[in-house]
Amino acid sequence: MAEHIGIEDFLAKGKTFPVVDVRSPAEFDNGHIPGAINIPVFNNEERAVVGINYKKNGKEAAIMNGLEIVGPKLVAFVKQAKNIAPGKKILIHCWRGGMRSASMAWLFETAGFQVFLLEGGYKNYRKHTRSLFDKAEKLIVLGGYTGSGKTDVLKEMDKMGAQFLDLEGIGNHKGSAFGAIGQNPQPSSEQFENNLGEKISGLNLKETIWLEDESRQVGRCSIPDNLYARMRESILLKIIVPKKIREKRLVKEYGCFPKEPLERSILNIERRLGSLRTKQSLEALENNDLLRVAEITLEYYDKAYLHGNSKRDEERVFELQVDSDDPKKTARLVLEYSNSHF
């Protein structure tokens, strides 16, 4: 008999034994437990057919329909399970811990596997993941105008022992209109949230966790509502880096890429940049004057950043002047400042 276990036990065992998600490929692609393997009971089309049959003809007809579809696949399912779980211990879940996972558990047990089923299924996992963002006791947000090198500073702080939840790294996007350039494809918002949950579950929730100041969207990925609300209420430490230094950093970061994606990114902010400034930016890009492109676009980004922080509690906003583009040096300054002030 398969053993039904809670989410924390399930995730702990998942570090040793394979996790099998038996939902459809579309469900899996939209979001899944990091590291899970998809062995779908039904493919996308089959799931739709069974669902329609259930609505039209009831549960019994849908079950018979499902059995007709699944019957020829049983041997293949067992072969897949043997490939991923040679020790014959396996964890299984579906959406709510219903018939799909129970059916697959029965099959694998019949084939000699020890099976663990997730109580409440993936739905329970999602609830657990979202709750983690409320359990972090102290968040500090590192802010600063575009081009300040905040991500690199936070990575240096991470090396020095600080805890960094890297929203942009996990979302494969640098946050601005230029943020997708040079990055891997983004996950769905749901998968982004799952990946964040996996990362934060490995941190000490009683100690300070640092994040980079972001808008609600990191590219197409949405920061979970409860985490975003916590970020907006948390202490914001802004590093103030001279504009000329920031311009040079942007040229260094983006100057290695072809002109086409840079041009598309400029056009993406045309409405907010204005037709004249857009025209000037595109002309500068055509003339390989990337410093001028950075100068013009930062006018927009600096205004947008000021506006984005205008609704914060001023008593929880602090500034630290930085005179060079030296992430390691700045990381030490940030940690010294936070230790003495917060």
Please give the positions annotated as active site: 94
State phi, psi for 74 to the nearest 5 degrees: -60, -45
Cα 262 to its chain centre, rounded Å, is 24
Please tell me the distance from the alpha carbon of residue 94 to that of residue 96, in angstroms, as a whole number.
6
Q: How far apart are CA 188 and CA 141, in angstroms?
A: 24
Angle at 46 between CA 18 and CA 195, to 5 degrees: 35
Cα radius of gyration rounded to whole Å, the chain: 25
**Which of 24, 39, 33, 15 lies closest to 89 in space, CA to CA?**
15
Structure tokens at 152: 């690199």
Q: What is the largest CA-CA distance in the chain?
A: 72
Q: What is d(CA 218, CA 83) in angstroms, rounded to the nearest whole number?
A: 37
112: left (phi over 0), alpha (psi -120 to 50) or beta: left
Rounded Cα–Cα distance for residues 273 and 267 (Å): 9
b vs e for 309-325, b when ≥16 Cβ sit within 10 Å of the residue's Cβ? eeebeeeeeeebebeeb
DSSP secondary structure string, 256-273? TS-HHHHHHHHHHTHHHH
Token pair belonging to 46: 């089959």
Task: Identify the H or E element spanning 18.
Answer: none
CA-to-CA separations, 29 to 19, 26, 98, 162, in angstroms, rounded: 15, 5, 20, 33
CA 316 to chain CA centroid, Å, is: 26
Q: How far is CA 298 from the centre of its chain?
A: 26
